[in-house]
Amino acid sequence: MNQIKSPTPIAILLATYNGKQYLCEQIESLLRQTSKDWTLYIHDDGSTDGTSELLHDYALRYQNIVVLDYESQHGAKDNFLSLLQRVDAEYYMFCDQDDVWIPEKVALSINEIKLQEKAYANTPLIVYTDLHVADAQLNITHPSFWKEICLHPEFVTSFDEIAASTAATGCAMILNSLAKAVTIIPAPKATMHDAWITACVLSKGGRICPLHRQTVYYRQHGDNCVGAEDLNHLSLTYRIKNLREMQLKNWRNYQMLRSLGYGSLLKFMRYKLLYNKRISRKKA
């Protein structure tokens, strides 16, 4: 497959599907970025609501917006990974169609990953930030996505520990070209593109580096492909009712990690329990 060489160091990858309702707000937030060293690459996955027409209109008006036309990928995971596979750049950021970025998001992310590259030369790297959780009108419902989902980045730093949490959220991450190089595509066992990329990077000795800033308004509106779930307030009744779903989610995560050489299911569960114990101690 021929790759498209990005004229800018940063390629922002936007996968869309029937996202016209919120798409303008997101693209306009990209155009307001304080850093201009990026090109936006978009692939629409067969929208029927006018999304494709809207995107082509933006591409006609802005030289740094490029719409890629190729076959449908049948879902967000493969859509994002197809963009990553087709674009050649120094750095990559993923963009959800319904969020809004703060104006400094690109600048904060690129500055941090360059600092990490100085400290860890020739290393696959991911930098990821926190997010504001917001409703459909962008009113903040929780100031910290990490706190809402009980994510403690300090406890998820290795391939072993990734059993507890995927840590890096796609729309909040930036990765370098070395991280792309170790990402296996296609990814038949991947649960989602961000979880897969993170697992691939850690499995090859790379690093994931948290940046303790909220850089995205993570819009929750009922039609999200993946949403924020407040794990601090899930009742015992809810957990029992959804036990099978939680077990299936854990099994899918384990199968993904196993495909990368993770090890036994017993090891996977041991690290999940260890993570929960660490959180309990932190709360005490």
Q: What is the DSSP string of 139-203?
A: -EEES-HHHHTT--GGG--STTGGGT-----GGGEEEEHHHHHT--SS-TT-SSHHHHHHHHHHH
256 closest CA partner among 194, 199, 178, 177: 199
Separation between Cα atoms, residue 280 and residue 164, nearest integer Å: 14
Across the chain, which has 284 residues, the per-10-residue mean pLDDT values are 94 98 98 98 97 98 98 97 98 98 98 98 98 97 95 94 89 98 96 97 97 98 59 56 85 96 96 93 81
Supply the DSSP symbol for 34: S
Nearest one of 169, 166, 158, 165 to 203, comparing CA atoms: 158
pTM of the shown model: 0.93
Strand intervals (E) in the chain: 4-5, 10-16, 38-44, 65-67, 87-88, 91-95, 100-101, 125-134, 140-142, 173-176, 207-219
The tokens for 103 are: 């104006």
Q: ∠ CA 274-141-109 to the nearest 5 degrees?
A: 65
Cis peptide preceding 188, ω within 30 of 0: no
Distance CA 211, CA 173 (A): 10
Three-state DSSP class for residue 230: coil
Q: How far is CA 56 from its chain centroid?
A: 24
Biggest CA–CA distance in the chain, Å, is 56
